[in-house]
Amino acid sequence: MANNEQDQPWRLRVLLEPKGFIKILEFILSVCMFATTAGYSDDLLYTLSCINSPDDRKIHIEYPFQLNTVKVPEGCTTSADMYLGGDASGAAKFFVAIGVLAFLYVIAITAWYVFLEHKHLEWDLVPMVDFGIHCVFTFMFFIASCVWAAGVNEVKDHTDFDNMKADVLKDQCSGNQTCTLTGALSFASLNVSLLFGFLNVVVWGGNCWFVYKETSLFGNKRDTGNGDKATGPPDQKVEVPTNTI
């Protein structure tokens, strides 16, 4: 039976095992994690009432959320360049990078389990490496999610229209000029990205146990490896009778 499996070019049955099935979940969660962040793009719309007539204004916000480079539209009488405050690009890029690296790793290790593992059953190093990388990714997902949570709060704070009117829009929205919000930013995508980030922590952390069971550190596997040497009857001395003639 083992020889037949080694002759096959792949072993899709591994995807039905916990270590393979959870890899599919990791793949989906890692893609959703960075896609919901890197794909964010929205416009903040407001109306500036000048002396003559109301004028529509738009501020475009997108990944990587380097807000201090986002220019604020000119006012009715002011023409000086004004920019939003804050910069969440570092947290956003780190969060996306962890998701992309996890996505690539899942593809590579799944290919190993499906196409190569059954041909190299004696390679105990690969499960050990997989276990170590899972532990590292679990920690990195947690750090990246916490950092990005602070980044999302920073984006929300600096794009809050009331805060903007008290800061960068202070000159535009004073006196006879009034500013009215007509289209607020939607942060649903960013909130969902945080959910996927912390879900990755749970899934990758839980899969550490199933990957650990595949390593030589696991008790049953260690005992099985030593069992061949321990089995078998002990050496017995055979006495040969001597002829007394």
pLDDT of 229 reads 42
Q: Report, as an integer, the average pLDDT of 180-206.
A: 93
pLDDT of 78 reads 65
pLDDT of 138 reads 95
Q: What is the DSSP letter of 75?
A: -
What is the C-alpha to C-alpha distance for residues 33 and 17, in angstroms, rounded to an integer?
Answer: 24
Q: Indicate if the pLDDT at residue 177 is higher than 90.
A: no
Structure tokens at 33: 């994690």
Tell me the chain's radius of gyration from C-alpha atoms.
Answer: 30
pLDDT of 223 reads 46
Using pLDDT thresholds of 50, 70 and 90, give the confidence band for residue 225. very low
Q: Report, as an integer, the average pLDDT of 144-161.
A: 94
Q: Report, as an integer, the average pLDDT of 45-53.
A: 79
Q: Indicate if the pLDDT at residue 103 is higher than 70.
A: yes
What is the C-alpha to C-alpha distance for residues 100 and 30, in angstroms, rounded to an integer?
Answer: 7
Q: Name the burial class of residue 5, with classes exposed (0-12), middle (13-18) and buried (19+) by CB atoms within 10 angstroms of its CB.
A: middle
Q: Report, as an integer, the average pLDDT of 71-99.
A: 85
pLDDT of 141 reads 96
What is the C-alpha to C-alpha distance for residues 220 and 223, in angstroms, rounded to an integer?
Answer: 5
Q: Indicate if the pLDDT at residue 237 is higher than 60.
A: no
Structure tokens at 90: 């570092």
Q: Indicate if the pLDDT at residue 83 is higher than 80.
A: yes
Which of these ranges, 48-52, 70-74, 144-148, has the smallest mean pLDDT?
48-52
Mean pLDDT of the chain: 80
| Percentage of the residues of the chain whose pLDDT score is greater than 70 | 77
Q: Cis omega (within 30 of 0) on the bond before 64?
A: yes
Q: Indicate if the pLDDT at residue 233 is higher than 70.
A: no
Q: Report, as an integer, the average pLDDT of 150-169.
A: 90
Rank 13-22, 93-102, 122-131, 180-189 by mean pLDDT and report only the highest.
Answer: 93-102
pLDDT of 81 reads 75
User: Which one has a higher pLDDT value, 32 or 128?
Assistant: 32
What is the C-alpha to C-alpha distance for residues 122 and 114, in angstroms, rounded to an integer?
Answer: 16
pTM value is: 0.78
